[in-house]
Amino acid sequence: MDKFVMSDELAKARSYEEHMETFIDRDDRPCFHLSSRVGWMNDPNGFAFYKGEYHLFYQYSPYTITWAPMHWGHAVSKDLLSWKNLPCALAPDMPYDNLGGCFSGSAIELPDGRLMLMYTGAGQNGKKEDGSPREFQTQCLAIGDGKDFQKYEGNPVIDGDSLPEGSSKEQFRDPKIWREDDGTYRAVVASLGPDNSGRIVVYRSDDGFSWEFDHVLSRNAGRYGVMWECPDLFSLDGKDVLLVSPQDMLSQGHEFHSGNGTICIVGHLDQQTGELVEERVSCIDHGTDYYATQTLLAPDGRRIMVAWMQNWDAIAGSLPQTRWFGQMATPRELSVRDGRLYQWPIRELDDLRRNLVEHTGVQVSKTPIELEGVRGRVMDMLIDIRPADEDNPYKEFTIFFAQDYRFHSSLRYRTEGGTLVMSRIHAGSRRAYVHHRKCDVPEAPTKISFRMVFDKYSVEVFVNDGIQAITMTIPTNVSADVVTFSCKGNAVINVKKFDLADPRD
Ligand code: FRU
């Protein structure tokens, strides 16, 4: 790397986080989900495997527990579960990023061994009619050794003038970069098109530094929300897959909810136009707290996805801690089967399993039952449910968790329609943010299985072999750890429960 010159803003953020993190009790944090070192965290950024370690950066405001001009926080891990903080990587210290800060982006290793970050600079361009600052968004680079990153003197490398006529220069962000087999680079970037609806555009570069507009990959055209954020494009199991996080969605059945959502478009790239031909559009995660996905291709060929385990529509429910806010969801292995996206927690999580408790063939009916040894808030629980009588299946099965004498959360499955309802209505929140979500299980089976991964203030549910995922943060104190099962009708269940070891020990 050329000589690294640290700005005052970055030096201040680094010394602040180093000092302030000492006031945060390790036990207040989740065990294996990466949480903000101090202050606020949103989107995952720069997810990469570099020099033998996974690097995960994130949208970060060290000084506040609400969103404020963005820095990039930084952590590394060998197993994606045990994280070590590294110093803040980027601070808003340039004219092109000193209004909103250093917005989301991605990372790639250059052929010379340096790590390059590509991010959105949210800078100021004059004022609006009402006197408030006018933001403009451009794509910028910072190059480094995996710890210190120098912003490129040629920044910004992509600005809104390169976009098709009529596109917004204020809503143009979140570049995800990759290298093609021929050594040239591409990046997908989110843009607000002339139709005032999201689009994903592709840029091209020979060397990673000098970029030109290539083509429009995908057009929202008013279907799924307005602006699309955080695009990611990759091929997987013979399909081309685009992930985006739309803002301002309207609800559609139980598939899409209003507000900020996540969608997955499975399709194929048209060889002539480069456009993504859609085959199936679905929600990535049906829970209350999942947004801004980003993936990487691991050295062993797995496509692994991370996301912010929070959602803009649910942040009013800040968790009990006060010096940090925000955590990442468990990294998930992705696959595409029969044209659908499947998700499963990374296999590294299995290594944390301890103390198996198993119950088989348990009859469940109306009165809630507790099973010996099945409780906890840091655990991995697998449950198979089947009707006691195939000809007369149960109507509704409920798992209550994070429960004490006063509070509980629940996952309820209704066989009619195959509807799942995840709820934290009675979890102890004093705020009226989103407290429950529904989704449908294809074909409404009466035999169903769930894997539920708990880490203190969250639960992630994977249905059957990962055909649906539902993620929810839980505001209830961790001492509420009772699990009970109840059924309208009669069901038989098998339960396996493991404690999950704290990988930081
Ligand atoms: C998504 C997002 C991105 C943006 C970042 C700013 O959550 O709005 O589009 O880059 O957050 O923090």
Per-residue pLDDT of the chain (505 residues; tens, 9 = 90+): 567 999 999 999 999 999 999 999 999 999 999 999 999 999 999 999 999 999 999 999 999 999 999 999 999 999 999 999 999 999 999 999 999 999 999 999 999 999 999 999 999 988 888 988 888 999 999 999 999 999 999 999 999 999 999 999 999 999 999 999 999 999 999 999 999 999 999 999 999 999 999 999 999 999 999 999 999 999 999 999 999 999 999 999 999 999 999 999 999 999 999 999 999 999 999 999 999 999 999 999 999 999 999 999 888 765 555 799 999 999 999 999 999 999 999 999 999 999 999 999 999 999 999 999 999 999 999 999 999 999 999 999 999 999 999 999 999 999 999 999 999 999 999 888 899 999 999 999 999 999 999 999 999 999 999 999 999 999 999 999 999 999 999 999 999 999 999 999 9
Q: 343 CB under 6 A from ligand 1? A: no
Q: In this structure, which amino acid lies at residue 32? A: F
* Pair (250, 371) in one structural domain: no
* Pair (384, 494) in one structural domain: yes
Ligand 1 atom nearest to CA at 43? 7
The CA 459 to ligand 1 mean position distance, Å, reads 24
Ligand 1 atom nearest to CA at 291? 7
Q: Whose CA is nearest to atom 9 of ligand 1?
A: 229
Judge whether 440 counts as a catalytic residue: no
* Pair (342, 357) in one structural domain: no
What is the sign, positive or negative, of the torsion defined by CA atoms of 187, 188, 190, 196? positive
Domain boundary pick from 300, 327, 348: 348
* Pair (361, 336) in one structural domain: no
Question: Choosing from 43, 159, 313, 481, which is the catalytic residue?
Answer: 43
Question: Which tokens belong to 292?
Answer: 């801004």
The verdict on pTM exceeding 0.95 is yes
**Total domain count, the chain:** 2
Q: 327 CB under 6 A from ligand 1? A: no
* Pair (227, 322) in one structural domain: yes
* Pair (120, 233) in one structural domain: yes
Within a domain: residue 3? no
Best CA proximity match to 325, nearest among 46, 29, 86, 74 = 29
Domain boundary pick from 325, 348, 371: 348
Within a domain: residue 425? yes
Distances (CA, A) of 255 to 244, 261, 279, 420, 451: 15, 10, 16, 11, 20
CB count within 10 Å of CB 66 equals: 10
Is residue 323 helix, strand or coil?
Answer: coil
- Residue 266's domain comprises 8-348
Q: 70 CB under 6 A from ligand 1? A: yes
Within a domain: residue 411? yes
Q: Which of 67, 104, 189, 309 to mutate to test the pocket of ligand 1 (most atoms within 8 A of CB)?
A: 104
